[in-house]
Amino acid sequence: REVAGGDTNPFALAGPAASASASGDGDGDGSSNWHASAALEGRARLRWKQVCTDLKASDAEIARLARESEQLEARGSAHGEGSRRLKEVIRGLEVDLRSCPQVVSHRDQLARKTATLQQELDGLRQRALALQADQPAGGAGSSWSFVSSPPGGSFTMARDVPGDATCVDRIRGCAVM
* Per-residue pLDDT tens listing for the chain (177 residues): 444 444 455 555 444 444 444 444 545 567 888 999 999 999 999 999 999 999 999 999 999 999 999 999 999 999 999 999 999 999 999 988 888 889 899 999 999 999 999 999 999 999 999 999 888 765 555 555 555 554 555 555 544 544 555 555 555 555 444
Q: Please report the pLDDT score of residue 122 as a whole number.
A: 96
- If we measure between CA atoms, which residue out of 148, 144, 175, 147 comes closest to residue 161? 144
pTM over 0.75: no
* pLDDT value, residue 133: 87
Q: From residue 105, how far is each of 93, 95, 98, 101, 109 by CA, in Å?
A: 18, 17, 13, 6, 6
DSSP assignment, residue 47? Answer: H
Q: What is the pLDDT of residue 118?
A: 97
pLDDT for 31 equals: 81
Predicted confidence at residue 15, as pLDDT, reads 47
Give the strands of the sheet with 144-148, arranged side by side. Answer: 144-148, 155-159, 166-167
The pLDDT value recorded for residue 11 is 52
CB 170 within 8 A of CB 155: yes
The vertex-79 CA angle with 74 and 82, nearest 5°, equals: 130
d(CA 50, CA 30): 30
Nearest alpha-carbon partner for 131 in 145, 117, 120, 149:
145
Q: Give pLDDT, residue 135.
A: 83
Query: What are the backbone dihedrals phi and psi of residue 144, each rounded to the nearest 5 degrees, phi first?
Result: -115, 145
Helix (H, G, I), strand (E, B) or coil at 148: strand
Contact 20, 26 (CB under 8 A): yes
